[in-house]
């Protein structure tokens, strides 16, 4: 277990090529040569993997300093089974599993046992601040943008994380959204779920038209 408030650079990453498995034998058939920082083309599998490991590691380096005093933090409210059930319901199916190879379809079996077990686990994580090591591991899949892609900038990277961690993240996000909505004024349009600026633009157009009809200066 690791502190969930820890640095991002402590997280671990694994790089896979599309269509390949973790073993070098399977990766070799789908490997894509890539350039190093100085422009030299890398053709060896392990050199390519090391280059991707360095590149993806830099993507998530958090250089900010955390000087906040957490000794006076308020204790978070217990996570309820209903919150877990709703987060599981919103978990999309057909998505590739993360490092733990736990598919979303298995979690969405509509089992009370699964919901209670996850609820107990999430409360333990929130209470102790310890994040499971497997949940800190991301599987990066590299997808070339074209046939001649040899630079890392010419690739898209997809990070696969554990579905079990997505459930807890969804619960925490829902709580933050609820807390934020209580602080945001009703006149705030945009950057809020279900509240866009198109309706306000329409209202302004109506006001302008009414003002012109009544010869009222704007």
Query: Concatenated DSSP letters for 79-121?
Result: PPHHHHHHHHHTSPSSPPP-TT---HHHHTS--HHHHHHHHHH
Same domain assignment for residues 125 and 198: no
Across 79-106, average pLDDT: 91
d(CA 115, CA 108): 9
Instruction: Kindly state the average pLDDT of the residues 30-48.
Output: 75
Same domain, 48 and 92: yes
Q: Are both 23 and 115 inside the same structural domain?
A: yes
Residues 64 and 165 in one domain: yes
Same domain, yes or no: 148 and 204: no
> 153 and 74, same structural domain?
yes
Pair (142, 214) in one structural domain: no
Residue 160 has pLDDT above 60, yes or no: yes
Domain count, the chain: 2
pLDDT at 134: 86
- Residue 32 carries which DSSP code? -
Q: How many CB atoms lie within 10 A of CB 5?
A: 12
Average pLDDT over residues 46-57: 81
Domain of residue 205 covers 189-218
Least confident of 1-10, 122-131, 194-203: 1-10
* Interacting residues of 7 by C-beta distance below 8 A, sequence separation 6+: 62, 66
Asked which of 55-69, 82-96, 102-116 is least confident by mean pLDDT, the reply is 55-69
- Considering the domain architecture, whether residues 218 and 131 belong to the same structural domain is answered as no
Mean model confidence pLDDT for the chain: 78
Mark whether 41 and 19 lie in a shared domain: yes
Element (H, E) at 55: helix 45-59
> Do 109 and 203 belong together in one domain?
no
Judge if 166 and 206 occupy the same domain.
no
**Bigger pLDDT: 165 vs 10:** 165
Report the 3 state secondary structure along 157-214: EEEECCHHHHHHHHHHHHHHHHHHHHHCCCCCCCCECCECCHHHHHHHHHHHHHHHHC
Based on the domain organization, do 107 and 43 belong to the same domain? yes
pLDDT of residue 90: 92
């Amino acid at each position: 277990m690791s502190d969930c408030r820890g640095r991002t650079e402590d997280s671990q990453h694994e790089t896979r090529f599309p269509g390949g498995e973790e073993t070098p034998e399977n990766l070799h058939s789908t490997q894509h040569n890539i350039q190093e920082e100085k422009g030299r083309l890398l053709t060896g599998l392990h050199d390519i993997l090391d280059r991707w490991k360095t590149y993806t590691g830099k993507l998530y380096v958090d250089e900010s300093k955390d000087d906040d005093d957490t000794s006076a933090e308020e204790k978070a409210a217990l996570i309820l089974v209903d919150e877990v059930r709703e987060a599981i319901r919103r978990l999309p199916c057909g998505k590739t599993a993360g490092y733990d190879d736990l598919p979303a379809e298995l979690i969405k079996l509509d089992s009370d046992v699964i919901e209670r077990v996850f609820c107990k686990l999430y409360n333990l994580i929130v209470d102790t601040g310890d994040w499971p090591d497997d949940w800190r591991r991301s599987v990066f899949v590299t997808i070339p943008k074209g046939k001649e892609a040899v630079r890392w900038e010419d690739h898209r990277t997809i990070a696969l994380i554990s579905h079990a961690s997505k459930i807890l993240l969804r619960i925490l996000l829902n709580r933050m959204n609820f807390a934020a909505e209580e602080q945001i004024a009703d006149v705030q349009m945009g950057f809020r779920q279900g509240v866009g600026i198109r309706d306000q633009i329409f209202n302004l157009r109506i006001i302008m038209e009414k003002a012109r009809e009544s010869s009222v200066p704007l």
